[in-house]
Amino acid sequence: MPGLSPSQQVLGSREYTALSRYILGHHHLHHHYQTLEKTLDTLCEPVEDKFLNTRKPSDVEGLLFQAWEAVIAFAASTSHTSEQRQRLVDIMVNVKYRPTLTKDDQTCIVHGMTVWRDLPVLGWELRETWNFVEETDDNAVTAATANSDEKHKERWVNLNAWVASLVASLRTGHQKEPDYSLFCIWTVRTALEQEGEVTNIAIKAAAVWFMYGAAAIWDLTTRQKSFDGEVAKPGSVEKGKSWTGFTEERWKAWVQRYAYLQNSISDQITAELVGKALQAMKSAED
């Protein structure tokens, strides 16, 4: 199960190494720099080679999880303020538009998702990470507790920022799918819709969604994007609301909550992120 701290196996994987050489190479490891094309091949060719040999989509599922685990681990380790965040997003956009994997007119479809157009099982891998963070949290409400180590807190904020950027980038194309906006609701709900004290880390993790994805979230809001069942239900503060996704009423509640928090947060960095989130939300509305 993926967490926020990558295992030695992930750190030593060919996928993680390829990401490092492409994204970090031109800054720190110049003699190991790797091109985007080579990086994409490193991520995708194990899946492609396996399917071309066996023509069994079930044979590539594990390889997809392996690739995405490296991507998520790298995203969590990449500062949300760094340009490297968007470089990793761009890799995933390029993967999405890689030619559809086929053999003898048979398309590789994993659990109903086409390789590569639908970035199969990436959403599942992200969900495992979100679940892991919540299950290992002391109070199972906030994304990370005050007792969590600083690297854990930073990684949680970084990962949310990266997924927000991915959502924003995917929605600028002619295809709006796959959609990972449900993770926005989960993170923002934790920070802005729960009763009781909320940690600064939960507030930060929610703020970066608007800093890097406000326009996309506002678009989803105006389109009233909804989800099946109760996965996007409101938090305890908004109990009784019939929200099943993004609505303008919910957006306004988030703005009001952040406006309140901005004046009550003592931590300067958290307050700055809240201010940037509010500014981005206002810009998205204009």
> Using one digit for the tens of pLDDT, what is the confidence trace for 83-121?
999 999 999 999 999 999 999 999 999 999 999 999 999
Please, are residues 280 and 165 in contact by the beta-carbon 8 Å criterion? no
Distance CA 22, CA 40 (A): 10
Residue 1 has pLDDT above 50, yes or no: no
Distance CA 219, CA 251 (A): 11
User: What percent of the chain has a predicted confidence (pLDDT) above 90?
Assistant: 82
The residue type at 70: A
Distance CA 232, CA 97 (A): 29
Our CA dihedral for 204, 208, 210, 214, rounded to 10 degrees, sits at: -170
**Every domain of the chain and the residues it spans:** 1-121, 137-286
CA 154 and chain centroid, separation: 14
Our CA dihedral for 143, 79, 21, 173, rounded to 10 degrees, sits at: 80
CB-CB neighbours of 278 under 10 Å: 20
Query: How high is the pLDDT of residue 263?
Result: 87
Distance CA 214, CA 236 (A): 24
Residue 28 has pLDDT above 60, yes or no: no
Tell me the whole-structure pTM to 2 decimals.
Answer: 0.93
Query: How high is the pLDDT of residue 32?
Result: 60
User: What percent of the chain has a predicted confidence (pLDDT) above 70?
Assistant: 90
Distance CA 261, CA 102 (A): 51
Q: DSSP states of 123-166 as a string?
A: HHHHHHHHHHHHHTSSSSSSSS-TTS-HHHHHHHHHHHHHHHHH
Distance CA 16, CA 9 (A): 10
The residue type at 145: T
H/E run at residue 190:
helix 182-192
Query: How high is the pLDDT of residue 3?
Result: 63
